[in-house]
A and B are shown apart, each in its own frame.
Chain A
Amino acid sequence: MTFNIPPPDILLQLSLNGALGGAMYGVAAVGLSLIFGTMRLIFLAQGAMIILAAYFVRALFYGLGIDPFLSLLIIIPVGLVVGWLIYQGLFRKAAAAEDRNISLLIAVGLMFLIQNLMTVVWGGNTAAIVTSYTASGIEILGVRTSFTRSMGFLIALAGTGLVVLFLRKTLVGKAVRAASEDMEAATLMGISPHRVNAIAFAIGIALAGAAGVAVATTFPFNPFAGFIFSLKALVALALGGIGNVAGALAGGILLGLIEAYVQYFISGGWTNAIAYGVFLAVLMFKPEGLFSRPYKKA
């Protein structure tokens, strides 16, 4: 194998497309980060939720003729409600228990359930949406790239921005962080811990919905396609720093870049190994993630 330095336009092309692709992991990771950050739960079902949303988008498109990007207006509120319900129905009790394995396993059970229900309802075959803009390209910075991926990037950016603002600036957002740290103390402040956990879950699932729109417009999918998103999102999460919501998006983009460079310079067969290797290295040597500033005194 030879290591020719490619011309700058190819580098730019690689970087741009890698970043756009990585934003997909980013969206998935932000939702995961929120749930993980508040409930310390590795929500392995996030990928399955994304695919569920994708099927839902498809049903809206072919059933009612609603444009996939327009369907965000439906998917997000529905995601919020579903997230709220999932928390209240499945995780409320487990959140109070000390054993974190329980919520992990509920997430696994939920993943099995959703994947296979989707198989029963929609069959196991690959499904896809074809719109007027499917597979159409646009020019950014003189580089040709995908329209739907660019849209996905915007969705990721907007979603993350909103969540970060919510957590940093609003009192409820702070309450979400507080309750995740010490539930008993939070209740003494008048914070209902279950309400804030439910909020975190609702937002997490709504973000899965947004990711579902991005996925449905870009990829064909099947009921089991989500798991890889969960794994990649976890990698993005660690790169960005656990609990660091904005970092999760950045981590996703970085992961996309790594994959693109490895695919181009080494071989596609090694993208996963190298991505996971970077993941381990970051966990070990910079567990707070790559994008968190070291703590400074006021």
Chain B
Amino acid sequence: MLKQAWNKQAKAGIAIAVVLALALVPLLPGAIDSYAFSFLFFVFIYAIMAQGWNLVAGFGGQISLGNHAFFGLGAYTTAILWSGNYLWGSLYDAYPRIYYFDPVTMVLGGLVAAVAAIIIGLPLLSKLRGDYFALGTLGFGEIVKVMFINGGDFTGGAFGVVAPASTFDTLLPHYLVGLGLMVGTALAIRLLMRSRYGLALIAVRDDEMAASANGIDVLRVKVAAFAGSAFIAGIAGSLYTCYIFHVGPDSVFALDWMLLPLMMTVVGGTGTLLGPILGAFVMYAVFDLARIVVPDYHPVISGLTIILAMLFLPKGLMRSFGGKAA
């Protein structure tokens, strides 16, 4: 008991220390222009995505293979609002500075994804369970991609949408917003899991029939988790657009945006709060290192790493080294 309490406190302490350290990184001389800085920024994006996947799959027990579609929806929403000529014209022309991480645009990116998740989640989740749901979401991802390719001028077709990059001058705000969103997502999920909603989510994961017999609206809980996961993915997509300035179907609807966060979560520890973040740090570091050290065949190394991690760390880092998970 005592040991457990200490363990918990120690974990929280380490987490706070790491966040503080990350927040202070920009103060180091030369840090902002270093590769490590953009490396960390990418880690944040993947950690947010992983966190979103963990919400629906780790805590909710519904394996979604369609989170890349929500990422893409968030990314496109941001890019279209910001550079297109829809609604009230180009946001960028109207407000030349606030388009970066404009909270309204970002939340809209998340909302569009969440609404899509509700529209697709209601029929899917009321009909499909387990593997069938996983397959369904995979199909959904492909459909969204094809729809965007065929979306005409509105989506920029197969070419996509470009936002003006000329005003970029430093990665600092990206870094800070990314860090803030990563920490914020983790805190939000922690709060959520301690609320009555978290109770219902775990109950549904453990036994749907018993959950419904105890008064839980199973479909609503599942759809809400799916939509929450999509919201997080949409925000991550929005953040990515602010960095990349060009969204196209092949880049933001790439399966990587689903597979890598999934893998990071499993490596870190499915159904744990810090696992997805830890997994994102470790795995992205491995991939990036491989890319720099052995550029000609780094995917081979990445593939091997995934296999080895799954063979030898199937429970995830958090559970293998961090004692029992929260």
Contact = CB atoms under 8 A, between A and B. Distances in A.
Interface of A: 36, 40, 42, 90, 93-94, 97, 99-106, 108-117, 119-120, 231, 234-235, 237-238, 242, 269-270, 272-273, 276-277, 279-280, 283-285, 287
A283 B314 contact: no
Given A106-B311, A108-B263, A112-B306, 15 more contacts: A93-B314, A94-B314, A101-B63, A105-B310, A109-B306, A113-B303, A116-B300, A117-B300, A234-B135, A242-B132, A273-B142, A273-B150, A283-B127, A283-B136, A284-B124
Contacts of B302: 109, 112
Contact of A40 (B128, B131, B314): B131
Interface in B104-133: 123-124, 127-128, 131-132
Contact of B262 (A101, A234, A279): A101
Contacts of A99: 266, 270, 314
Nearest to A270: B150
Interface centre among B132, B142, B263, B304 (most CB of A within 10 A): B142
Contacts of A277: 143
6 contacts: A94-B310, A97-B314, A99-B314, A120-B297, A237-B135, A273-B142
A110 B310 CA distance: 11
Interface centre among B131, B142, B306, B310 (most CB of A within 10 A): B310
Contacts of A111: 303
B197 interface: no
B299 A109 contact: no
Tell me the dominant secondary structure on chain B's binding face.
helix
A234 to B, nearest CB: 6
A211 B137 CA distance: 26
A127 B112 CA distance: 42
A108 B306 CA distance: 8
Given A42-B131, A99-B314, A280 B139 contact: yes
A93 B312 CA distance: 10
Nearest to B146: A273
A284 B128 contact: yes
Nearest to B158: A269
Given A116-B299, A120-B296, A269-B149, A42 B310 contact: no
B138 A283 contact: no
Contact of B143 (A110, A242, A276, A285): A276
Given A102-B310, A283-B135, A287-B132, A113 B304 contact: yes
| Chain A to chain B: the 9 pairs with minimum beta-carbon distance, closest first | A109-B306, A112-B303, A113-B303, A273-B146, A109-B307, A116-B299, A284-B127, A116-B300, A276-B143
A284 B143 CA distance: 15
Interface string B259-297: 100110010001000000000000000000000000011
B12 interface: no
Contact of B303 (A103, A109, A269): A109
A117 to B, nearest CB: 6
